[in-house]
Amino acid sequence: MEYARRIQNLPPYLFAEIDKMIAKAKAEGVDVISFGIGDPDQPTPDNVVNKMIEAVQDPSTHSYPSYEGMYEYRKAVADWYKRRYQIELDPETEVVSLIGSKEGIAHLPFCYINPGDVALVPDPGYPVYKTSTLLAGGKPVMMPLKKENDFLPDLTKINKDDAIAAKLMFINYPNNPTGAVADMDFFKQVIEFAYKYDIVIAHDAAYSEIGLDGFQPPSILQIDGAREITVEFNSLSKPFNMTGWRIGWAIGGENIVESLGRIKTNIDSGIFEAVQYAGIEALNNSGDSIEKMIKLYERRRDLLVAGLKKLGWKVEKNKASFYLWVEIPEGYTSADFSAEVFKKTGVFLTPGIGYGSEGEGFIRIALTVDDKRIKEALTRLEKNNLIF
């Protein structure tokens, strides 16, 4: 039986393929050190776990949850935004819960993209922006993120016809995979562009709390007029080491949030209420855990950057997120370089091509490996003459 065209057009999901490759190597006895998937290696804070245990034992949480999320959870999100960014949100109409931000990002194109419509997508970028557009029958038009432009899209170089045809623009700062950051001036340019061409902006802010060396990433909703045309996605996954819990949110203009909620009510049944109670605890009472996490990522980053520079690798410190975006030596593709390093050392580095054609020439290193294994990885690279 023939697959639907929407499936035929989809590439294999990068991280699922990485999981398979690493599992195969481990089964063959390889001592793998993986800097691949951005999954924090630290535990969820104790107070959040304890709140979850308490909530699971309460039979009132065992029924179907509300589709849009408990009011208490949405209010906790709104209160967090007020404390963090001085942004006022209505929990009833401007906040919707998500089963992790990936779910909301994947569903958003179904709200705005008709077959043939354009979505502007960063390249390199999180693969879901492109694949969700394809699933909705849309046309992804890639916005190159160049080193010379600090890995920000150059809005002046977007083809006018594509801008007129566009219904959505995806942006993501702090950025995955590059670790780049955006300032308020850039966000203002994005909002002006969106108003000019009648585009909905989808800002993926999943790494908003991982600002290093004192940097505090802004929210695009701090720009005047942004709310009416913007949806911002975030998640408890990265700041609170809760990737497996699958809980996040979308905030923004009432009409945009309502449209996303309408899709969700027809597709899923909401987040288990016990997880929402744990999310409330994280948002209200876990600020210290974020500070500790930031110090940990700063230490790991400094250890890796110093070690790789000693080996002659072209690497710079990231200002945010927990990724290093590293140029590879001339004469390699990113896939070939990643494969050679893995074959020689058992150290896995994600090839940049997996994030789009503009990712060629780079590899991504996630800072989700402890100090001991980082030192071991650097030793293996040196022993196998991976010095440039």
Average pLDDT over residues 324-347: 95
| pLDDT value of residue 246 | 97
User: How would residue 379 be classed by pLDDT, with cut points 50, 70 and 90?
Assistant: very high
Are 78 and 15 in a shared domain? no
Decide if 78 is inside a domain: yes
The boundaries of the domain holding residue 9 are 5-44+288-383
Are 245 and 355 in a shared domain? no
Are 97 and 230 in a shared domain? yes
112: domain CATH number is 3.40.640.10
pTM of the model: 0.95
Q: Among 285, 319, 348, where does a domain finish?
A: 285
Tell me if 184 sits within 8 A of 223, measured CB to CB. yes
Are 25 and 69 in a shared domain? no
Average pLDDT over residues 33-53: 96
Tell me if 258 sits within 8 A of 67, measured CB to CB. no
Q: How far apart are CA 72 and CA 95, in angstroms?
A: 11
Q: Among 231, 265, 285, where does a domain finish?
A: 285
Q: Which two tokens stand for residue 106?
A: 């994947």
Alpha-carbon distances, residue 302 vs 39, 120, 297, 351 (angstroms)? 19, 34, 8, 21
Are 204 and 326 in a shared domain? no
| pLDDT value of residue 80 | 97
Are 149 and 272 in a shared domain? yes
Are 119 and 196 in a shared domain? yes
Decide if 388 is inside a domain: no
Are 131 and 210 in a shared domain? yes
Q: How far apart are CA 129 and CA 108, in angstroms?
A: 10
Are 40 and 50 in a shared domain? no
Tell me if 38 sits within 8 A of 100, measured CB to CB. no
**Average pLDDT of the residues of the chain:** 95
Q: Kindly give, in sequence order, each residue whose CB lies less than 8 Å from that of residue 378, ignoring residues fewer than 6 positions away.
A: 304, 307, 308, 311
How many domains does one find in the chain?
A: 2
Decide if 341 is inside a domain: yes
19: domain CATH number is 3.90.1150.10
